[in-house]
Amino acid sequence: MAEHTVKSKKQFDVEQEKKEILKRYRKLLSVCRPTIASEDRKRIRHAFNFAVQAHENHRRKTGEPYIYHPIAVAQSVVEEIGLGATSVICALLHDVAEDTDYTLADIEDYFGSEIARIIDGLTKISDIFDQTDSIQAENFRKMLLTISDDVRVILIKIADRLHNMRTLDALPPKKQLKVANETLYLFAPLAHRLGFHAIKNELEDLALRYTDPEIYFTISQKLKETAEERKKFIQKFTQPLKRELKKHGFDFEIVGRTKSISSIWYKMQKKEVPFEEVYDIFAIRIILNSPEDREKADCWRAYSIITDIYRPNPDRLRDWISTPKANGYESLHTTVMSNEGKWVEVQIRTKRMDEIAEKGYAAHWKYKESKTSESGIDKWLKRIREILKTSERDALDFMDDFKLNLFSDEIFVFTPKGELRTLPLGSTALDFAYSIHTQIGNNCLGAKVNHKLVPLNHQLKSGDQVEIITSEKQKPKADWLNYATTARAKGKIKSALKEQRKELSEEGKEILARKLKQLKIDNTQENVNQLVKYFRLKSHLDLYYEIAKGTIGTKELRNFVSDSDKTGGFISYLKKPFSKTKEPGKVKIDNTSDIIREKLKTHPDTLLIGDGLENLNYKLAPCCNPIPGDDVFGFITINEGIKIHRNNCPNAVQMLSKYAYRVVKAKWINKKAIAFLSGIKIKGIDEVGMVNKLTNTISKEHSLNIRSINIESSAGTFEGTVMLYVNDTQHLKSLIRKLKKIKGVRSVTRISKD
């Protein structure tokens, strides 16, 4: 009887799941209906049936049927990104080739070559990489390689990551931290660059939820508590705006938008203010329904009306209508003073601009045909292709190039004839030369910026007018790699240096032949191979190059002959190498965790580290100064054992996304009476006896030792830092709460560095 009951329950669960799958699929179809033709919906149905069958026995970490995930990704692809039927089909099938018995060839047979090509770009790489390579970086590069054919690969990948972040709760904490940091490192900047503002904000918010949950939930709660107050303020603020805009015949919509949690946290850190003092927690958006030929004029007219009602801050005007951002974003931003004495950001844009801001690349594509000039996003995609062509094979170098050049802010500079050119922030005169033409870069002697002579490494600023001075005799030099910052410039310099090296190697080959003849050694392939091994070089070209440079001369060749005689013609592989270079970022780590466990085991300490949570020696990272109670992880360094970092360490994003294989679990096991150095920053109104009040609270009431105190006052206010020894985070938080209660103290924040 019990068996029958269990069986019935299982049957009931299966039936319920089938109903839920069908319900989610119907929701997907309803989202598709306004934009996708009925013929395409049949193709989607075919893909859905195929995916359901392929994933029939698969489940997600949440325990749910796996098919929930592809359906959710497909829905995001339509609803949040704005793509069509082909992308929906690819989203439904995106994990089939990777996780089931079906191959890409099967998908091509069923759905055609276009679908198969996109899914190939979405499929993770299954090859085995060196321990020092980042598989994620390789996956990312593979995905980007398809961009020259089809940008939809990246857009579907963003939707895939968005759903994975929304369901991250099901993963273990270490995995959550890795995925969250990977998202901050790659996917949020990519979504921003492609113009998906809402998705970028959600990805950053979800990442913050796992990298710094306390901050996330505190700000989230404060936003809920102040929601009603904000609503009333927005209604009162917008009433006169609506009245005047209607009077002038505008067709418009006004909405209030609250900043994302991560944006608020960023602002709090940057300005060093508490939540209550972030004045632009929300913005007012005015969306005009204007024809494209009148957009710019209407936005400025609306700006004039708004600033007649509320006084603007002249330093806070941002004109992205005349010069759109590289991701296609167009809008006019101003900050005005409300009648209540609060600054309010007002964004003015048209419906077309708003759709591009919300739907990014897909909306840009929709409006592209109406534009004759090349847009910022097309230039950006061209730059991606350039990086893919010129980047080195190493995946991590590639990622650094990619982030440096494509996720950075931009500057606008002019040629001598007044042509506007866009470059990444931090670009030099040499980068500018290569942005014009490779030959101009290769022959660059120097530059004039605003008619003044400057060196090649001179950093450019927006508005600079740049003239490049060239000479046919000039050739790229190795130290130019230190002057260039853009991937294009670095790639062209490396290519030129490689060509020069090749030419020099030809000379070296002839010199070697002459020297071997003098030493009465046969110029055979076998002897040249022995020379390469003896001098520990990588190839014959390297040998010829060193000889042409004069680094390997007759004396070194005689040593080779002498050592060969001693060993009977066999050159010892253990001989100290003549030339050995270490590639940055390519240090091999063999069983480092095991070595550290063997060599650094000591008496029980305050941290447990590693998968087995053994007690090991460690160092606290100076970049974030973790103390007991902080959420932490261990990072295996090359020479200094394990270093402990806070989860929200400024360097955590890079470490966890690029070197996840070197991260080990870490947690505090007990709170011994050990004092850890930490610091706090205090700001407030300067009153008599303030320093005495602060030191009394720290030393007497909390019995803490102060290492240093530095307080400066100016014009009635004070600001200072106090470095002190605490036992754990609770101890520090308790002190901060107490200090905030002192009359005149405006803010108290923890600082990371000494």
Contacts for 546-554: CB closer than 8 Å, 24+ residues apart: 546/508, 546/579, 547/508, 547/511, 547/512, 547/515, 548/504, 548/505, 548/507, 548/508, 548/511, 549/504, 549/508, 551/579, 552/578, 553/515, 554/515, 554/518, 554/519
Phi-psi bin for 738: left (phi > 0), alpha (psi -120 to 50), beta?
alpha
Cα(287)–Cα(59) distance, integer angstroms: 44
**Segment holding 286, helix H or strand E:** strand 282-288
Which among 443, 461, 456, 502 has a CA at the least distance from the CA of 482?
456
Contacts for 620-624: CB closer than 8 Å, 24+ residues apart: 620/644, 620/676, 621/645, 621/649, 621/651, 622/753, 622/754, 623/649, 623/650, 623/651, 623/752, 623/753, 624/648, 624/649, 624/650, 624/651, 624/752, 624/753
456-480: b (≥16 Cβ within 10 Å) or e:
bebbbeeebebbbebeeeeebeeeb
Q: Say if CB 677 and CB 722 are below 8 A apart.
A: no
Q: How many helices (H) and strands (E) does the chain have?
A: 31, 20
Cα(654)–Cα(586) distance, integer angstroms: 16
Give the dihedral sign, CA 272/277/279/281: positive
CB atoms within 10 A of CB 74: 31
Which among 222, 212, 231 has a CA at the least distance from the CA of 277?
222
Q: Say if CB 105 and CB 97 are below 8 A apart.
A: no
Q: Which of 79, 99, 108, 507 is catalytic?
A: 99
Cα(363)–Cα(292) distance, integer angstroms: 15
Cα(618)–Cα(593) distance, integer angstroms: 12
Give the dihedral sign, CA 492/494/499/503: positive
Q: Which two tokens stand for residue 607?
A: 């941290």
Helices (H), 123-196: 135-145, 152-166, 173-182, 188-193
Write out the E strands in 637-675: 642-646, 663-668
Cα(742)–Cα(751) distance, integer angstroms: 20
CB atoms within 10 A of CB 243: 10
Q: Which of 17, 64, 98, 614 is catalytic?
A: 98
Q: Give the residue carrying structure tokens 């002057």.
A: 483
Residue 98 annotated in active site: yes
Q: Say if CB 315 and CB 333 are below 8 A apart.
A: no
Residue 369 annotated in active site: no
By annotation, the residues acting in catalysis are 98-99
